[in-house]
Amino acid sequence: MPALTDKAYVESLLTRHGFSFSKALGQNFLINPSVCPRMAQACGVGPEGTVLEIGPGIGVLTRELAQRAGRVLAVELDERLRPVLAETLADCPNVEVIYGDAMQMDLAALLREKGAGPAAVCANLPYYITSPLIMRLLESRLPVQTVTVLVQKEAADRLCAQPGTRESGAVTLAVAYYAAPEKLFRVSAGSFLPAPKVDSTAISLHIRPRPPVETDPDKLFAVVRAAFGQRRKTLCNALQAGGYDKTAVAQALRQLSLPAAARAEQLTLAQMAALAAVL
Ligand code: SAM
């Protein structure tokens, strides 16, 4: 079978199956031959391990993963890709494609039931659900050591930002709580079919054995969501809009020696955890 990075072949394959790209499902397939091997290598899984892939598309990354891992579990939402994947993965007996919505599925249960050995996530994520999907992967405490994903450059900047800096957001703090983020390499927009408007960045989230702050994650992330829910407001006003008592917030900020006009992005993870604990 010709390479799934051969643009002419991919176009003829998709035409043969009557497939048209869905923008709503974030379908930008990789056609740069150097990207998938680097991602598969970076996810670190060997012949004893299992890789969970979200959104195999036509299977270009899936095939690279199948060469390295003992088992690949790939979750794809678009049923129209079923006949395409049956063809492109016909010679990959260690791949199982599960059709369904990764946002609804119990991915931890899936890995527990079907996975074996050390596990990792590796995916070129649909951009329309990058942050919620990453939150879901982190919060569902998958039995994985790394989450290696390709995301739009701006999303990577936010996911890998230092908490307490202007680039940080709610997802930055979630990543910092559960993992140590690492930017791997840039991928140009022309590496995809169809080409999106912006470049992407491959990142790895190395899951921490223990969070760096001791706190109740539910309380912490309730405060984080409220704090970043109204990004342009001060923390006091944003938290008030999120249902917290304004006087109590002002008092908590004083107690923690934080400025009354502090904004969410100025707080480190430790400061946000301390604020959640006081509140
Ligand atoms: N891995 C392929 C590649 O690199 O060429 C395709 C990546 S494409 C950016 C994203 C893929 O995710 C598409 O195949 C799309 O149908 C699938 N997808 C979108 N939303 C999904 C969801 N909620 N659950 C599972 N797969 C989804």
Structure confidence by residue, pLDDT tens digits, 194-214? 999 999 999 999 999 999 999
Structure confidence by residue, pLDDT tens digits, 215-230? 999 999 999 999 999 8
Give the distance (Å) from ligand 1 centre to CA of residue 56: 6
pLDDT at 170 over 90: yes
Atom number in ligand 1 closest to CA 127: 9
Strand partners, 74: 53, 97
- In this structure, what DSSP letter does residue 162 have? P
- Alpha-carbon distance of 279 to 151, in angstroms, equals 34
Which mutation among 30, 39, 54, 197 tests ligand 1's pocket best, with the greatest number of atoms within 8 A of CB?
54
pLDDT at 158 over 90: yes
pLDDT at residue 6 in the model: 97
Write the residue with the smallest CA distance to atom 21 of ligand 1: 77
29's CB contacts (< 8 A; 6+ apart) are 10, 57, 58, 60, 192, 193
Give the distance (Å) from ligand 1 centre to CA of residue 246: 42
Atom number in ligand 1 closest to CA 4: 5
Q: What is this structure's pTM?
A: 0.94
- Alpha-carbon distance of 107 to 109, in angstroms, equals 5
75 versus 2: the higher-pLDDT residue is: 75
CATH architecture for residues 217-278 = Orthogonal Bundle (1.10)
Q: How many other CB atoms are found less than 10 A from the CB of residue 97?
A: 19
Which mutation among 27, 60, 80 tests ligand 1's pocket best, with the greatest number of atoms within 8 A of CB?
27
Structure confidence by residue, pLDDT tens digits, 123-137? 999 999 999 999 999
pLDDT at residue 125 in the model: 97
Q: From residue 180, how far is each of 101, 159, 173, 207, 267 by CA, in Å?
A: 27, 10, 11, 6, 18
186's CB contacts (< 8 A; 6+ apart) are 153, 199, 200, 201
CATH homologous superfamily, domain 7-207: Vaccinia Virus protein VP39 (3.40.50.150)
Instruction: Delimit the domains of the chain by residue range.
Output: 7-207, 217-278
* CB-defined site of ligand 1, < 6 Å: 25-30, 54-57, 60-61, 75-78, 101-103, 124, 126, 129
Residue 228, CB half-sphere, CA atoms under 13 Å: how many?
21
- Alpha-carbon distance of 222 to 217, in angstroms, equals 8
If you average pLDDT over residues 152-164, what whole number do you get? 96
Give the distance (Å) from ligand 1 centre to CA of residue 44: 21
pLDDT at residue 240 in the model: 93
Q: What is the band of 116 on the pLDDT scale with cuts at 50, 70, 90?
A: confident
**% the chain with pLDDT above 90:** 95
- In this structure, what DSSP letter does residue 79 have? G
pLDDT at residue 117 in the model: 86
Mean pLDDT of the chain: 95
